[in-house]
Amino acid sequence: MHNLLVELDERYDPQRVALEKRRIESAGFDIAIHNGASDRVLAWIDDTFGGVWSSEAYAGANVVVSRANGAPVAFATFDARGLQFAWLRGVAREEGVGLFGPFGVEPSSRRGSIGRAVLAIALCELRARGYRRALIGAVGAPELLAYYARETGASIVETFEIASFVPRAPRTVLLASGSGTNAQAVIDRVRAGLPLDLRAVVSNKANAKVLDRARAANVHAEIVAWDRALQSRAEYDATLLERVASYEPELVLLLGWMHLLDGRFVDAFPELLNVHPAFLPLDSSRDRVGMPDGSEIPAFRGAHAVRDAFAAGSRWIGATVHGVTLETDRGPVYARKPLQVRAGESEAEAHERLHIYEHQIVEAAIKRWLYER
């Protein structure tokens, strides 16, 4: 992987912005520059480009190209602040260096000049903010390296192996209460090279299928069930904390875990990620979230998100991996993905399709956590 550096010279002056805007508008598109981005744009980014870029777009300013009906076509983020990726701890922190990216154009519009125009405008905006150079981070594909070199004169300034940022696989415990499809996805990805040291799968259900999945993969499986006749809630929570702590985890993943954790548990394991079957807003204080088609739905928090979405007649559901706090499903978002409900589709059918998205964003969120440590 490579970090690229672009010199923000006279090529990126205000006249260039005006020229590129005219080109976009003459092609029948609208263009806007915003600090942050609208919910619709952020949801479209997750729907189109995989589920993690919206957080970066949310942290920066954005050039957005849309059709006349408001549907986004392309975007470029610039001057994102507060990102913690390991590859942004070198040249990216030097004085006069501004961040460019992420950057994306929908597949059907990639053959035209939209991408070139959006790229140029974002670099012009960085120069207008006083930056002398732009850093384009973590570029790996040869065709992208060639594209940036051709369009901007970008040169490689840092080269690194992504794996070097994770010198040791962190000790990890999975908590799950049901069939364990997300746990299986994590186990499979660890076998394929995802750097986690899976210490245990813990379930609060003695008959949970996730336990069989763990045993089949030679991962230690433990039952920590709550016998309400013998234990108070506080006693059970203390037992759960003790058992999970015995594995000394650096990361705890809640993958379909159906027991509300108490404050002592959350305090003991600050690196705690949960997969939730709803598309949650990046602003955790909000109770509604915009979708790629411009509609808005409730942020379906709680134990029955898909059921609640169907009961409300929502045309959208989704999945989110977020950090866990004492406020239910309001922790920081690591990855998310929306899913449109098909006409006549049952709740079970939609949930089955959603599992595929959950598997994708769980892996994406783990990687983000690893590279932001």
* Positions in the chain whose pLDDT score sits under 50: none
Which are the catalytic amino acids?
A: 276
Say whether both 210 and 258 belong to one domain: yes
Domain end, chosen from 164, 183, 218, is at: 164
- The CA-atom distances, in angstroms, between 203 and each of 219, 253, 268 are 13, 12, 18
Say whether both 69 and 141 belong to one domain: yes
Residue 219: per-residue pLDDT: 97
Q: Is 196 exposed, middle or buried (0-12, 13-18, 19+ CB in 10 A)?
A: buried
Q: What is the DSSP letter of 259?
A: S
C-alpha–C-alpha distance, residues 321 and 313, integer Å: 24
C-alpha–C-alpha distance, residues 102 and 320, integer Å: 20
CATH of residue 259's domain is 3.40.50.170
Token pair for 100: 């460019």
Tell me how many helices (H) and strands (E) the chain has.
11, 16
Say whether both 92 and 111 belong to one domain: yes
C-alpha–C-alpha distance, residues 303 and 256, integer Å: 10
The type of residue at 126 is L
C-alpha–C-alpha distance, residues 87 and 137, integer Å: 7
Say whether both 127 and 188 belong to one domain: no
pLDDT tens figures, 229-261: 889 999 999 999 999 999 999 999 999 998 889
Say whether both 224 and 342 belong to one domain: yes
C-alpha–C-alpha distance, residues 214 and 181, integer Å: 11
CA dihedral 29, 33, 35, 39 (to 10 degrees): 0
The domain in which residue 140 lies consists of 2-164
Residue 216: per-residue pLDDT: 97
Greatest alpha-carbon pair distance for the chain in Å reads 75
C-alpha–C-alpha distance, residues 300 and 295, integer Å: 15
CATH of residue 51's domain is 3.40.630.30
The type of residue at 1 is M
Say whether both 318 and 185 belong to one domain: yes
Say whether both 152 and 176 belong to one domain: no
Domain end, chosen from 149, 164, 179, is at: 164
Peptide bond into 102 cis (omega under 30): yes
C-alpha–C-alpha distance, residues 144 and 156, integer Å: 12
Q: Is 307 exposed, middle or buried (0-12, 13-18, 19+ CB in 10 A)?
A: middle
Q: Which residues pair with 133 in a beta bridge?
A: 7, 97
- The answer to whether the CB of 343 falls within 8 A of the CB of 330 is no
Contacts of 84 (CB under 8 A, 6+ apart): 372
The type of residue at 267 is D
Q: What is the DSSP letter of 110?
A: T
pLDDT tens figures, 115-160: 999 999 999 999 999 999 999 999 999 999 999 999 999 999 999 9
Domain end, chosen from 164, 184, 216, is at: 164
The type of residue at 47 is D
Contacts of 81 (CB under 8 A, 6+ apart): 59, 60
H or E element in which residue 230 lies:
none
CA dihedral 291, 292, 295, 300 (to 10 degrees): -20
C-alpha–C-alpha distance, residues 20 and 114, integer Å: 9
Say whether both 147 and 203 belong to one domain: no
Say whether both 156 and 197 belong to one domain: no
C-alpha–C-alpha distance, residues 106 and 326, integer Å: 38
Say whether both 209 and 65 belong to one domain: no
Token pair for 302: 């709680």
Residue 303: per-residue pLDDT: 87
Domain count, the chain: 2
Token pair for 1: 């992987």
Say whether both 201 and 306 belong to one domain: yes
Say whether both 96 and 186 belong to one domain: no
Residue 10: per-residue pLDDT: 94
Predicted TM-score (pTM) of this structure: 0.94
